[in-house]
Amino acid sequence: MPTHIDPAPAPSIFPLPAKPAEPSAAILRDPGMRPARRRMLGAFGALSALPMLGEVASRASGPLAQAATTASAAPNIDQQGLSGAWYDRATSGQGMLIEVIPGQSYLFGAWFTYDTTAGDVTTQRWYTFGGTISDGASSATLTIWQSSGGNFNATPKPYAIEVGSATLSFDSCTSGSFTFTLNDGRSGTVPLVRLLGNAACTSADTTTTASAADFALSGAWYNVDTSGQGLVIEVNSAYPYVFAAWFTYAENGESSGASGLRWMTAQSTGYVAGDHTIRLTLYVGTNGTFNSAATKINVTEVGTATLTYSSCGSAVFSYNFSAGEFAGKSGDILRTRTGATPAACVFGSSCALIPSETDGPYPLYSILSNSAIQRRDITESKTGVPLRVVLRLINVNNSCAPISNAAIYIWHCDKDGVYSGYTNQTGGVSTVGDTFLRGIQVTDTSGQAVFETIYPGWYTGRITHIHIQAYLNDVLTQGTAVITTQMAFPQDVTKVVYNSTLYAAHGQNTSVTSFAQDNVFSDGTTYEMATIAGDVASGYVATLTLGIAA
């Protein structure tokens, strides 16, 4: 974690990560206004009236209201349950995100606010803060940093400068204060309340109301290649709601100093407790003034994002801007947790080997040396329901540590059951010379590889599947894969897809109607079944962990 940092590359733990969201217009929906919960990846109709954060807190009912209004004994600061979004109702529209890192006796946070003079996005400001904490204490002395010298989702790594100090104190699991002194003479005390209510904090007379496993996905996340910017998240199944802040820079902010700082808030639409794929709306706040309500903050919806967790320590953040200074920009950022994984986090199956399976009749090994196949988007204009495949490669011989720099090769049939590169297929079709729906990606430091494709179709004798191989050597040739396996898909999702317009002509698979009848998956799908989220209109995300003995 950062201590004193002179103008030098920012620490890899990224001194911008814990930024909260913008509490005022940062826009949380009133629980009474929230539409029916549902799983979805597509666009979600925005409500015409969005309450300020303070309004949300005051209108909460049930356990949340009790958590926000009942005085509690001062909690032990050394607990992950104090992590999350905090703000001052008087200055709603700016606030803080905090992460207490379990087992490391360290507290990390980010403060999103504005310059002393209101204006456009160039007056946005954010600070990070951190310091050691003591077990049993209810307060801590922290150092405040400000970062600069970065570019939006790109290198170089920025630098952080110590600009002040603060004392963070908690009166209860839902209230506290942040007393700060900045080197430029500004000082004050920010009274803090929780944005979403208590989910996991405990004290002498406080009980929690949410799943600790969900809340354990909260925290600061970053990409090692662009260290110095990142995402701070609170996943709160008590509300249920997900609130995050994205701390980054202007597209060409490297030489802009503090005016190159940028932050956005991200808020869930239709989150259901237990979701590992979360649809978010992105907002930008402007016209604010530092720790003050002197000006009315303007909040603008600027895009959407999807946060897909593939484990307790890795995720993919996919964004698409429709407005604002980043309009037209889209992409995917592979995220890694900055601190230790909370013990309460439980994700998917246990650390286990994924079964080996046949490579089938259509592996097309001749393309492995083709550099054009090293690509993320493998559709080649094939039509179908969009599918993002997120794979994570881990070593079961090393406590399931991620395996980086491995090549992952996937291939599958199109919506009509046809593979590329072969003759005499379904209906006598020949696709010799084609390479659609095949691709190779190299795993990142989190062991992840991501592909953009379409939902697979079916052919006689096999149930829906995707073929997967992993290579640890630099040369990809037939017979050198460390694992050959297949991904299975939930039958209920597959039936919905095959009933959709694009797939209706081929229809449902009547040749194999259960996994027990399939010659590959008949022995079980425990470790090969994809976790699926999404819908036909917007597409799906499929995640799978590949455990190998490396």
> What are the residues facing 14 on neighbouring strands?
none
143 with 165: CB under 8 angstroms?
A: yes
pLDDT of residue 210: 60
Could you tell me which residues come within 8 angstroms of residue 159 by beta carbon, excluding any fewer than 6 positions away?
5, 6, 7, 8, 9, 10, 147, 148, 149, 228
Q: Kindly list the distances between the CA atom of residue 278 and the CA atoms of 38, 195, 267, 285, in Å, as whole numbers in the listed order.
A: 11, 19, 9, 22
Mean pLDDT to the nearest integer, 190-208: 83
pLDDT, the chain, mean: 83
Report CA-CA distances (Å) from 420 to 86, 162, 202, 340. 52, 56, 57, 43
Distance CA 451, CA 376 (A): 5
* Strand 219-222 to 187-194 pairing: unpaired
Give the 3-state secondary structure of residue 411: strand
The whole-angstrom separation of Cα 356 and Cα 425 is: 25
For the chain, the distance separating the N- and C-terminal CA atoms, rounded to the nearest angstrom, is 31
Instruction: Give the residue among 120, 156, 119 at the shortest CA–CA distance from 253.
Output: 156
Distance in angstroms (rounded) separating the CA atoms of residues 184 and 178: 18
Cα angle, residue 247 at apex, residues 244 and 249 outer, rounded to 5°: 150
Integer Cα distance of 199 and 216 in angstroms: 10
**Res 374: pLDDT:** 95
Q: What is the mean pLDDT of residues 88-107?
A: 90
Q: What is the DSSP secondary structure assignment for residue 226, as one 8-state letter?
A: G
pLDDT tens, residue by residue, 120-170: 999 999 999 999 999 899 999 999 999 999 999 998 888 889 999 999 999
Residue 92 has a CB neighbour count (10 Å cut-off) of: 23
Residue 99: per-residue pLDDT: 94
Query: Could you read off the pLDDT of 349-367 as tens digits, one per residue?
Result: 567 899 999 999 999 999 9
pLDDT of the residue at 15:
30
Q: Each residue of 431-461: b (16+ CB within 10 Å) or e?
A: beebbbbbbbbebbebbbbbbbbbbbbbbee
Alpha helices in 160-305 (DSSP H): 212-215
**Distance of alpha carbon 363 from alpha carbon 469, whole angstroms:** 10
CA distance 540 to 528: 17
Are 115 and 297 in contact by the 8 Å Cβ rule? The answer is: no
3-state secondary structure of 474: coil
Whether the predicted pLDDT of 58 surpasses 60: no
Distances (CA, A) of 311 to 214, 334, 348: 12, 12, 8
Question: Among 519, 518, 530, 467, which residue's Cα sits nearest to residue 494?
Answer: 530
pLDDT digits (tens, 9 = 90+) for 299-337: 999 999 999 887 888 888 989 999 999 999 998 888 888
Q: How far apart are CA 222 and CA 335, in angstroms?
A: 5
Handedness of CA 331, 129, 188, 184 (dihedral sign): negative
Q: CA angle 469-470-473, nearest 5°?
A: 135
Amino acid at 308: T
The predicted structure's pLDDT at residue 28: 28
Asked, as a colleague might, if the bond just before 102 is cis with ω within 30 of 0, I would say no
Residue 48 falls in which region: left (phi positive, over 0), alpha (psi -120 to 50) or beta: alpha
- What's 479-501 look like in SS3? CCCCEEEEEECCHHHHHHHHCCC
Q: Do residues 536 and 385 touch, judged by C-beta distance below 8 A?
A: yes
Secondary structure (3-state) at 466? strand
pLDDT at 24: 30
Contact assessment for residue 30 and residue 120, using Cβ atoms and an 8 Å cutoff: no
pTM over 0.95: no
Joined together, the tokens standing for residue 56 give 């949300």
pLDDT above 70 covers what percent of the chain? 85
Highest mean pLDDT pick, 16-20, 107-111, 223-227, 309-313 = 107-111
Q: Tell me, what's the pLDDT at 207? A: 56
The three-class DSSP label of residue 372 is helix
Segment 76-100 mean pLDDT: 94
Q: What is the pLDDT of residue 43?
A: 16
Which of 113, 157, 217, 168 is CA-nearest to residue 14?
157
- 207 or 426: whose pLDDT is higher? 426
Q: Token pair for residue 254?
A: 């490297």
Q: Is the pLDDT of residue 501 over 60?
A: yes
Sorting pLDDT into bands at 50, 70 and 90, what band is 494? very high
Tell me the average pLDDT across 269-285: 90
**113: nearest Cα among 220, 19, 232:** 19
The dihedral sign for the CA sequence 212, 215, 270, 28: positive
pLDDT of residue 373 exceeding 90, the answer is: yes
DSSP 37: P
pLDDT tens-digit profile of 211-242?
A: 678 899 999 999 878 889 999 999 998 889 99
pLDDT in tens, 441-480: 999 877 888 899 999 999 999 999 999 999 998 779 999 9
List pLDDT tens digits, range 246-265: 999 999 999 999 999 999 99
| Length in residues, the chain | 550
Kindly tell me if the per-residue pLDDT of 6 is higher than 90.
no
Cis peptide before 156 (omega within 30 of 0): yes
* Type of residue found at 297: I
Residue 70 has pLDDT above 90, yes or no: no
Q: Which amino acid belongs to residue 53?
A: L
